[in-house]
Structure 1
């Protein structure tokens, strides 16, 4: 089946370490498929979307295991590149004795190159929606412009970069922009600690190309801005992969920004079945969250 959505982003071994303490520094641990790109792709597959993943792993046994796990989760992996001689990336999520999560990353397999993006043109020009997790180098811009020139929806899940010229081009090729609180504040040049400040920031971004901007305002909620309207919903959990997957899938199905926003926030609020695990994005799990959100939706601007 042809992919309805493509996700470009990191793929890595995700080592989740639990219950660390003085007597057992590593505590209990388990390994799962990780990396932001893989997480968004799995979320889309859970929601019923035919999805292909474009990223990089090493030509080692861990890379092979990750591809097997992604395939078992319903993600097409034929576009994933195997870097010869490079180990697969590793992300370690550590739950300390104080109850706080800490993250460490190592990505020796590297990132996508411009040549990789060119080779993936058939995918980028055929998928209805292309979700891009920004990465170093020019691959992010090249992928966005390739998909945009073919009339595909580009969802940029993160900061559009520091270079002003590249940023303008990238935003012009982006239809949906998702920013967590840190990325939004960095792009605005000031903390997004008030709704009116966030609205001004989003309005400025809309003039540069995106049709929909989603901003995580932490405890103040999740702000969606499009055309001459906005919607403020409860907090979404800090820009989770489930949020991005649900937003992209809803829009791909032809639903408007309001319904897409509901589904995205509902998906992000479903707790994982276990620490470090993934949420269940089944209709049965989403239904009560959507019903709860309907009581919070405020009139659009």
Structure 2
């Protein structure tokens, strides 16, 4: 796609479906800002949330010849093993899909929005410009978003639930940092047992009749460099000694800067973005590699 820096895309097929009953939890105030209050009423009955875990067969031979970081150095491994916080990107990392692409496809604007997503992830255009442009192509009303969330459950990347469980056993704090939307990431956080206050993401805004108004531009993740800002805020608030950022895109790579992440791990199990992988501290194609390294 135009503006994409030599990216390989891997097609996956789901192999199993898991169902969990989840009791609804109240939304914290910062998740409801800008939303029509009556639209946030939740049922008192448990709801059935379905996630799909898909098998991925990464083409590791697609790694560029100059990419020599698929095996961690001793220093990288020590930081990963001692991390007291790990921040995960969501789209094409924790989940198999790009959330905004899936929503756009559901709303009938999939191809045009996917092209803009490729530009944003390659870093060729400012993120905030790409986000506004993508949303303007389909302007989803609240009713359509709710219909999407009901009919399109999250598709988790294979091994992510086991990795997060392993991190929790080690008492490592886990965060989700995404250029996607809180409304779509909340079900993912519930499935993985990540508290809502550990979500840093954008917020879709709707009017009193459910009409689409835009997105909250005060969120740090709504603009270029936002993930780096979020990681710095997390670090300053909690004083973590070793913090790792894990993702697939240019916005994730940005988080590895002074005062931000100590380590950037590029997850290429869904998409291999050569320009990003080349600058990563460690490139992995399978979460099992990270799980094994913690044992």
Q: Normalising to structure 1: TM-score of the pair?
A: 0.34
Q: Normalising to structure 2: TM-score of the pair?
A: 0.35
Higher RCO, 1 or 2 (CA under 8 Å, sep at least 6)?
2
